[in-house]
Amino acid sequence: MNNSKSTLFLFLLSINLIWCQKQDKKVEIDILRPSKAAFYSAILPGLGQIYNKKAWKIPIVYTAIGVSAYSYDFNKKKFKSYRDAYKRRKAGFNDDIYQNIITNDDRLIDAQDFHKRYKDLSMVFLVGFYFLNILDANIDAHLMDFNVNENLSFRPYYENDYLLGQSIGLNLKIDL
Q: What is the pLDDT of residues 34-67, one digit of tens each?
A: 999 999 999 999 999 999 999 999 999 999 999 9
* Nearest Cα to Cα of residue 69 among 30, 32, 122: 122
In three-state secondary structure terms, 39 is: helix
Q: Is residue 161 part of a domain?
A: no
Host domain of residue 132:
30-148
Share of the chain above pLDDT 90, in %: 53
Q: How many independent structural domains does the chain possess?
A: 1
Cα–Cα distance measured from residue 141 to residue 156, given in angstroms and rounded to the nearest whole number: 31
Q: Is residue 25 part of a domain?
A: no
pLDDT score of 30: 74
Q: Give the helix, strand, coil percentages of the chain, each rounded to 5.
A: 60, 10, 25
pLDDT score of 21: 47
Handedness of CA 83, 84, 90, 94 (dihedral sign): negative
Q: Is residue 162 part of a domain?
A: no
How much is the pTM? 0.68
Mean pLDDT of 21-33: 64
